[in-house]
């Protein structure tokens, strides 16, 4: 049974092959995208068992996603197919410099119709971690309630709750994000914000002070992603900083945070201490940025070892 179970949305993403705004794009490549499923894929590639709970449209894109996840070794036995609602779709532009615009068509999707009824107590009982993100809370009121119910159920079962805020200001304003997240933090064991997310939640600019403010809500561990500067893990007793991995070039930054989460959880599952888990998380997150697409750059355990050796040689 899965060591880590994630719950959330997955979409089909079409990435423009032409450089420039989407209005000028003519051809696209098909990919998959979804933060929680990305983490499950990352863990599976690193040698861990992972499951994903969600709803997909009973359509060609939904079946494509199921086939893709099965091929990656992710358990999809608790994914429901909805004959009345579609699988979400997104379109992403390609640019050589600056941010890349993504347009989402997810309103009324099958995933947005998730309710707490999708949760299986006996299935969740088998996991060591339940991984969730803030994105799902913003898809619909029923999705918000599903995330909250999943956290409560995991707590009841003794399953650790891992939570990445994954704040998307396109989905709700900052003030609303702060309210929603501070309500959920007491139900979390591990929180994985980016530096800006930690500041938005707490108002603290300093990453360690922000992490300690989040700890005050109840989590046992806060890991702040610092981009090129690495990551900072903070517990009530200690703070550990590990520098980032230097890359000669970033191909696509999307998916780095999900890779980081997969790497950190893999380290914890393997019994690594905080510095070792942070180094693994930094490495997986960095490798995710070397390839176009959300999941294409997520490495296997062997690839992590080879990449780490290569990094040591360059130093």
Distance from C-alpha of 215 to C-alpha of 194, rounded to nearest angstrom: 15
Question: What is the value of pTM for the model shown?
Answer: 0.94
How would residue 313 be classed by pLDDT, with cut points 50, 70 and 90?
Answer: very low
Output the pLDDT for position 95. Answer: 77
Q: What are phi and psi of 66, to 5 degrees?
A: -60, -45
Output the pLDDT for position 237. Answer: 96
Instruction: Inform me whether the pLDDT recorded for 315 exceeds 60.
Output: no
Output the pLDDT for position 100. Answer: 75
Output the pLDDT for position 270. Answer: 97
Q: What is the rounded average pLDDT of the residues 247-269?
A: 84
How would residue 101 be classed by pLDDT, with cut points 50, 70 and 90?
Answer: confident
Output the pLDDT for position 80. Answer: 98
Instruction: Inform me whether the pLDDT recorded for 253 exceeds 80.
Output: no
Instruction: Inform me whether the pLDDT recorded for 286 exceeds 70.
Output: yes
Output the pLDDT for position 231. Answer: 96
Beta strands in the chain (DSSP E): 4-7, 11-19, 28-33, 50-57, 79-82, 89-94, 102-105, 129-133, 160-164, 190-191, 221-225, 231-234, 239-242
How would residue 248 be classed by pLDDT, with cut points 50, 70 and 90?
Answer: low
Q: What is the rounded average pLDDT of the residues 44-56?
A: 98
Instruction: Inform me whether the pLDDT recorded for 235 exceeds 90.
Output: yes
What DSSP designation does 87 have?
A: P
Selecting among 120, 258, 294, 312, the annotated active-site residue is 258
Q: What is the pLDDT of residues 132-186, one digit of tens each?
A: 999 999 999 999 999 999 999 999 999 999 999 999 999 999 999 999 999 999 9
Q: Which residue has the higher pLDDT, 289 or 84?
A: 84
* Residue among 232, 218, 168, 216 at smallest CA distance from 190: 218
258 among known catalytic residues: yes
Q: What is the mean pLDDT of the chain?
A: 93
Q: Please work out, in degrees rounded to the nearest 5, the angle formed at the alpha carbon of residue 231 by the alpha carbons of 222 and 263.
A: 85
Q: What is the rounded average pLDDT of the residues 195-224?
A: 98
Range list of H helices, 16-111: 35-45, 60-71
Domains defined along the chain, listed by start: 4-9+35-85+115-314 (3.40.1190.20)
């Amino acid at each position: 049974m899965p060591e880590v179970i994630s719950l959330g949305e997955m979409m089909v993403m079409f990435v423009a092959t032409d450089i420039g705004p989407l209005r000028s794009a003519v051809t696209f490549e098909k990919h998959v995208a979804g933060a929680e499923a990305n983490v499950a894929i990352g863990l599976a590639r690193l040698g861990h068992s992972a499951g994903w709970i969600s709803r997909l449209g009973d359509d060609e894109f939904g079946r494509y996603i199921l086939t893709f996840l099965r091929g990656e070794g992710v358990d999809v036995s608790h994914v429901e197919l909805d004959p009345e609602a579609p699988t979400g779709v997104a379109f992403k532009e390609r640019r050589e410099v600056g941010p890349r615009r993504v347009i989402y068509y997810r309103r009324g999707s099958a995933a947005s119709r998730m309710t707490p009824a999708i949760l299986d107590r006996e299935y969740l009982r088998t996991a060591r971690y339940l991984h969730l993100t803030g994105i799902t809370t913003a898809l619909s009121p029923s999705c918000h309630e599903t995330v909250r119910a999943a956290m409560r159920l995991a707590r009841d079962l003794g399953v650790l709750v891992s939570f990445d805020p994954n704040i998307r200001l396109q989905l709700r304003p900052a003030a609303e994000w702060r309210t929603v997240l501070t309500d959920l933090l007491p139900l979390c064991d591990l929180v994985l914000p980016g530096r800006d997310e930690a500041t938005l939640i707490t108002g603290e600019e300093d990453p360690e002070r922000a992490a300690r403010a989040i700890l005050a809500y109840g989590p046992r561990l806060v890991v702040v992603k610092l981009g090129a500067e690495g990551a900072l893990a903070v517990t009530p007793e200690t703070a550990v900083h590990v520098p980032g991995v230097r890359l000669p070039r970033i191909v696509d930054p999307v998916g780095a945070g999900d890779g980081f989460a997969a790497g950190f959880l893999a380290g914890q599952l393997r019994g690594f201490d905080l510095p070792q888990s942070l180094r693994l998380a930094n490495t997986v997150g960095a490798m995710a940025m070397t390839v176009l697409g959300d999941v294409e750059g997520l490495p296997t355990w062997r690839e992590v070892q080879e990449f780490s050796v290569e990094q040591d040689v360059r130093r």
